[in-house]
Amino acid sequence: MPPYRKMISVPALDSAIGVFDSGVGGLTVLQALRRRLPQRDFFYLGDTARVPYGRKPPEMVEEFAKEIGDFLCGLGVKGLVVACNTASAVALPSLIERSPVPVWGVIEPGVEAAARATRTGIVGVIGTKGTIGSRAYQRRLEQRGLEAWAQACPMLVHVVEEGLAESAEAELLVSEYLRNRPAIDTLILGCTHYPLLRGVIQRAVGDAVRLVDSAEVTAEAVSAAFQPVNGDGRGAPVIQANGGRVIHFVTGDPLAFAHTAAVIGGVEGEIIPLPVTELASARAVTVP
């Protein structure tokens, strides 16, 4: 007997790109993507019921990412963007293996941009415990012959989510986390939430250190593959009618998602609740 599949109806989006994160932080990546691909439709999934990923075992995060990847691919997306650094660090190979569409994580573009930016070859990276513990950034930096300094900054996600990005508390935590850094000249913001702390981080490290925002550089890499019009980067581009729509799925409370997202600049587009208990068994049915 086939497994029970719950049907949820979703407005049909043309040639959409699927973007996911553990929560609201990935909206920074979505915003960067939409600035570069304004005609493109997007599905965004925020796994707010299970956030934070940054403190969870890698195997668990990998399972979550696979479920979400399968769900978004089931919607017929043309590409998958893993906006979450922690999920990119631990789940990218399995997502690439099982997905029928191209998959982008945020780590490779971040490392690429840091390699371009550094003059001294000493690069710092900050992220969640999961990201830093995986050594995904450090390995790639070292493979390029760069010296990597890495620091987990677990409290910073909460600071941003509480709307305290410009507070004295944020200044204190950032300077504490960055206190023992060597003479880096480039620092990768290896977490979806850190672009919101850009001002505080820049003040802590000084203007001579270049900050690499993985949201921006990932959007740059994805948009290079997709034309601003609907052509999937291959063949003649086709103008997408009514393009630029976004549908957000959230596994937790949709109101809480919208509220927290205000810190990131708000949510534009529909929010559809997708309880995490139904994520693995749900099959979306698109309606015109």
- Alpha-helix residue ranges (DSSP H) falling in the chain: 27-36, 58-74, 85-98, 107-117, 129-134, 136-143, 155-161, 168-177, 198-205, 214-225, 254-264, 276-279
Q: Which stretch binds ligand DGL (CB under 6 A): 186-194, 201-209, 242-250, 264-272?
A: 186-194
Q: Can you tell me the distance from the alpha carbon of 91 to that of 98, in angstroms, rounded to the nearest whole number?
A: 11
Residue of the chain from 18, 46, 52, 110 that contacts ligand DGL (CB under 6 A): 52
The verdict on whether 73 is a catalytic residue reads no
The verdict on whether 191 is a catalytic residue reads yes
Q: In the stretch 105-144, what mask flags binding to ligand DGL with x, by CB under 6 A?
A: ----------------------xx--x-------------
CB atoms within 10 A of CB 180: 8
CB of 20 to ligand DGL, least distance (A): 10
Residue of the chain from 157, 160, 173, 284 that contacts ligand DGL (CB under 6 A): 157
Residue of the chain from 15, 28, 39, 85 that contacts ligand DGL (CB under 6 A): 85
Q: Can you tell me the distance from the alpha carbon of 25 to that of 44, in angstroms, rounded to the nearest whole number?
A: 11
C-beta closer to ligand DGL: residue 99 or 131: 131
Q: In the stretch 12-51, what mask flags binding to ligand DGL with x, by CB under 6 A?
A: ---------xxx-x-------------------------x
C-beta closer to ligand DGL: residue 84 or 91: 84
Residue of the chain from 84, 123, 132, 209 that contacts ligand DGL (CB under 6 A): 84
Give residues 218-247 in contact with ligand DGL (rule: CB under 6 A): none
Q: Can you tell me the distance from the alpha carbon of 285 to that of 9, in angstroms, rounded to the nearest whole number?
A: 5
CB atoms within 10 A of CB 145: 8
CB of 24 to ligand DGL, least distance (A): 9
Is-contact 30 38, C-beta < 8 A? Answer: no
Residue of the chain from 43, 44, 53, 71 that contacts ligand DGL (CB under 6 A): 53
C-beta closer to ligand DGL: residue 10 or 132: 132
Q: Does residue number 86 form part of the binding site for ligand DGL (CB under 6 A)?
A: yes
- List all residues 6 or more positions away from 40 whose beta carbon is below 8 Å from its beta carbon: 15, 16, 17, 33, 34, 226, 228, 230, 240, 243, 244
Please state the separation of Cα 282 from the chain's center in Å: 23
Q: Can you tell me the distance from the alpha carbon of 184 to that of 132, in angstroms, rounded to the nearest whole number?
A: 17
Q: Please, what's the b/e burial string for 25-51 (b: 16 or more CB within 10 A of its CB; e: otherwise)? A: bbbbbbbbbbeebebbbbbbbbbbbbb
C-beta closer to ligand DGL: residue 13 or 191: 191
Q: Can you tell me the distance from the alpha carbon of 259 to that of 96, in angstroms, rounded to the nearest whole number?
A: 33
Residues that bind ligand DGL (CB under 6 A): 21-23, 25, 51-54, 84-86, 127-128, 131, 157, 191-193
Task: Indicate which residues carry an active-site annotation.
Answer: 84, 191
